[in-house]
Every structure is written in structure tokens, then in C-alpha cells.
Amino acid sequence: MVGTEKTTFPTGFKFGVGTASYQIEGGWNEEGKGENIWDRMTHSKPDTVEKRHNGDVACDSYHKYKDDIKMLEDLGVDFYRFSFSWSRILPTGFANKINPDGIRYYNNLIDGLIARGIEPMGTMFHWDLPQPLQELGGWQNEALVDYFTDYAKVLFENFGDRVKTWFTFNEPWVIAALSHGGVGLAPATHSPGVGVYLVGQTILKSHARAYHLYQESFKSKQEGRLSMVIHWFGYVPKTDSPEDVAVAEKAKQFKFGWFAHPIFSAEGDYPKVMKDAIAKKSAEQGFPRSRLPVLGKYWVDLIRGTADFIAVNTYTSLLAVPNPDTTEPSWVNDCGVKLTNDGLGWPESVCFWHKENAVEFGNMFRWLRNEYGDREIIVTENGWPEDGSSKHEDWERIRYTHRYLEELLTAIHRDKINITGYTHWSLMDNFEWLQGYTMRFGLYYVDFEDPSRPRTIKKSGEYYRELISKRRLPEKFNEELFASDKKFAKRINLCVSTHGKETFFLS
Ligand code: GBH
């Protein structure tokens, strides 16, 4: 048994849930909203998404936001992390025309949250770029730095009196390496070795400009805080061999360090290992210069220090070995890591990229401290996928959350790491990008067959509510867990054998 002090969250620790505009809002062309790259892709190439699903209606939060607020209130969360739809606020992407209905929608949401004591945390960009900006080349075009800064200004002016925690971008690695690396997320650009790095550069510059704009023109009055949400993936060396260990470490720098090193390290700029590897590969491939553009002193200085805390999303880990099977110049090839499932004993989800490895979640916090020093950390996303077949009986999500939070508490209590918040992804089932509505991450079940999109709480929602009200890991649910589900128990055994330590899950 774990002692109570170890299962209790510190005073002031905040719990929340997250969503994103395109994944929940619907109302894709209502009341002045402009077209974004997800509207365009799902309408013009419907086969890119499983079952030809799209976000035209999604959870219909554009009309049902009051229900969302009730659910948040019922869960008892301290904060709600949602994102603004750029094209709902600026229909063409440009700041010459503001859509009053877009402003009104977010005012209603924000005021409703505040009236119930729920803190709004706003993401400025969660992947739904206005289509007219894509026509300019999207994030590959550095002109977007100015247009993003204009948009940020509109957000600060309209909502900054009430939104005190801002995230400029959600997961720049996904935007750069996946959306532009040929994986198929909108805009589904295929430029895996060149465009990806241009995108990364534009995002870093846009983030820095928005941060400085806030410091110069809004901070003294609004007193809020900003960060960028960076995606962490737990690369675990497959063996203890120096090659495997080195490649896993290099991959962490290539994925997380790509965006975190310029912002959080003392020297700024991209990680050295990344600059060196891309320069070397580029030369071998006959490029006259590195495919990773030089940031230069002006930007290195401007980007360094532009976050008030670390905001990290993380879901899973995989085993890493050297040498991916690619020859085309690409981020994967530059990074030099191949991911493998071989020999994993970790509990699997129904989703191809998602496994449970709580220990690696804990290791992440220690890695962040070693790398960037003692900083405040907020977990801005973490969650578990299922296909809906278990409806409300989502025991696996409870197990996952429980084990991850146990590790988070160890990082707080034993390692004294300053983690101040945890965001469960997601409030409710929603449009899961290329998987459409076939993959569910919600604490609330959403019936997408029903035009009114009813939402009903799952067991995991009850678990989270209990946890938040007591501010400690609930015991009650553990017992229920062991007793009720044989399949579940089998998976727990796997999990324990992998981690090689006894836990109270084995009863
Ligand atoms: C988060 O990304 C997102 O921020 C959130 O919007 C999303 O709902 C949540 O994950 C759950 O997926 O299908 O081949 O494109 C986490 C990182 C990046 C992991 C995209 C899954 C999909 C691979 N994710 N990746 S693919």
C-alpha cells in the first residue's frame, strides 16, 4: 500500500481537462466563420479521414457550450484548456476583419467558465489554420510570423482581461514533422526533409513575437502567463547498448528539444546534436547547405526565454533503435531513430501509436529538470484512447490515469519537481483527426449518431471527479478495478512485470 501523503496532491495543484476547436465545435461555416485547412481537406479529400468523418458538426459545442460548462462544473475541474478557432475570429485569417459572432462565442464561453470558478486557459493555435493563409504556403512561409502576431493581438485585446494562461501553439512537432512530413494531417504537405524545418522555424519565430508583444503591451495590465505546448514522446532505448541509448537521447532532442532548447536552454538555438546531424546528412545528400535553416543571433536571442513555464503533452512511449528504413531526406532519417514494438510488455490500447508506460512518464519530469533546470511544469495533455465498445465502462482509462498520476506524485514528492497542473485529454469524445470519431479519449461519452450529440459521463469521469474532490488518488476505484475485470487484471500483470516493481495493483 502506498501511504496517503504520497497519494495526495500538494495545495494549489490544479486539475483540468482539454479540448480543441476543430475537434469539438462544429458550426464550421456558421455566423461568419471562415474556412480552415481541416474544413478544406475533409471536404475536398474526404477519404483522408477514417469513415470519411469530418468536424462539420463534431460535438456541436458551438451550440452546446453551455452543456460543456455544466460537465466541467460537474467534474469539479480547476481549469479548462480549450483552443480558439482562428478562422472563427478572423474569417480570412487576416486582422482587417474581425467576426463579432466569433468574439461573442468565446466571450460567452469564458464568462460562463469564470462564473463557475473555472479558470480558462486558451490555446491560440491547435492546428486549424485559416485556408487563405495556407494559400500563401502556410507555416512554410515566414510571412505568417506577422499574421500570427496580429491574431495574437486580437486575442489579447478581446480576451486577455479574463484569460491569464495562454499557449501559443499546440505541439509544433506535429504541425511540422507530421502535417508537412507526409503523414496526412492537414494540410497534408509532403516535404519531410525541407518544409518541416521551415515550418518549425516560422512557429518558433511566431511564438517569440507573440510572447514579446504580450510583455510589451499587455503584461503590466493583464498579468497573464504564456507558454508553448510541446509534445513529449518517451523514447526508450531497446537495449543498454551505447548505440541504442544514444539514439533514444538524440531522438528526444530532435522531437522535444527542437522547440524546447531554443526557448528553455541557457544558450538558446536548436540542440547541437540536431544542427550537426542535419548539416552532415544534408552535405552527404549533396545539398549546398543544411536543410535546417540557420536561426541567427537576432532570433536566437529573441526566442530564448519566451515561456513562463514548461507546458508538456504526453501519451506514450516506444522502444528506439538506430537506423530507420528511409533514404529520402526527412526528419525521421535525420533523427536516425526507428521505433519498434518488439518485446514490449506494456499494456496496449486499441490505437496503433499508444501504449501505457507510466514509468517513462515519471522519467520525463526528471529529464526535463536535468535538461532545463528547476522550472514549473504543467501537463497540458495526457489521456487514453478506446474505440467506444466499452461505452461507459472504461476501466483501462482509469488504470492508465491512476498509474500516470502515481508517477507524477513521485516526481513531486520524492524528486521535488515543481509540477503544478494536470490536464486530462479530453473532456469528451471528439473528432480524433485522421481517426475521425473511431477513437475516443473522453471522460464523457458522446453519441455521434444522435443529432443532439448527447454526452454522458464514463467511469473515468467519475474517477476523475472523485480524485479532484479529494485531491488524492481515490482508493475506492482501485478496489472496483481489481474486482471487476479479468481482462484488466491480465494487463496489469504485464504492466507490473515490465516495470519490475510491486504495486498495489497486484492484489
Ligand atoms: C494530441 O497529440 C493532440 O494535441 C490532440 O489534439 C489529440 O486529440 C490527442 O493527441 C490524441 O491523439 O494518425 O498517423 O497522424 C498527441 C500526439 C500526434 C499522437 C499525432 C498521434 C497521430 C499519428 N499525436 N499522432 S497519425
Atom of ligand 1 nearest to the CA of 185: 15
> What is the separation of C-alpha 297 from the centre of its chain, rounded to a whole number of angstroms?
29
What CATH architecture does domain 2-506 belong to? Alpha-Beta Barrel (3.20)
Task: Quote the pLDDT of residue 496.
Answer: 36
376 exposure class (CB count in 10 Å sphere: 0-12, 13-18, 19+): middle
Rounded to 10 deg, the angle between the 144-159 and 100-115 helix axes is 50
Task: Quote the pLDDT of residue 16.
Answer: 99
Task: Quote the pLDDT of residue 494.
Answer: 38
Question: Mean pLDDT in each 10-residue stretch from start to end of the chain (507 residues)?
Answer: 75 98 98 98 98 98 98 99 99 98 99 98 99 98 99 99 99 98 96 98 99 98 98 94 96 98 98 98 98 98 99 95 92 93 80 90 98 98 97 93 96 98 99 98 98 97 96 77 51 37 24
Query: What is the 3-state composition of the chain as percent helix, strand, coil, each rounded to the nearest 5?
Result: 45, 15, 35
Of all protein residues, whose CA lies closest to atom 18 belonging to ligand 1?
174
pTM to 2 decimal places = 0.94
Task: Quote the pLDDT of residue 482.
Answer: 53
CA angle at residue 347 from 342 to 350, to 5 degrees? 90
Report the separation in Å between the CA atom of 231 and the middle of ligand 1, taken as the mean of its atom positions. Answer: 9
Report the separation in Å between the CA atom of 396 and the middle of ligand 1, taken as the mean of its atom positions. Answer: 19
> What is the separation of C-alpha 426 from the centre of its chain, rounded to a whole number of angstroms?
11
381 classed as catalytic: yes
449 classed as catalytic: no
Task: Quote the pLDDT of residue 351.
Answer: 87
Are 135 and 194 spatial neighbours (Cβ–Cβ below 8 Å)? no
Atom of ligand 1 nearest to the CA of 435: 13
Report the separation in Å between the CA atom of 455 and the middle of ligand 1, taken as the mean of its atom positions. Answer: 22
Letter for the amino acid at 203?
I
Report the separation in Å between the CA atom of 342 and the middle of ligand 1, taken as the mean of its atom positions. Answer: 22
Task: Quote the pLDDT of residue 478.
Answer: 66
Q: Ligand 1: residues within 6 Å at CB? A: 20, 23, 170-171, 174, 178, 183, 185, 231, 313, 315, 353, 381, 425, 432, 434, 441
Q: How many angstroms separate the CA atoms of 468 and 445, rounded? A: 19
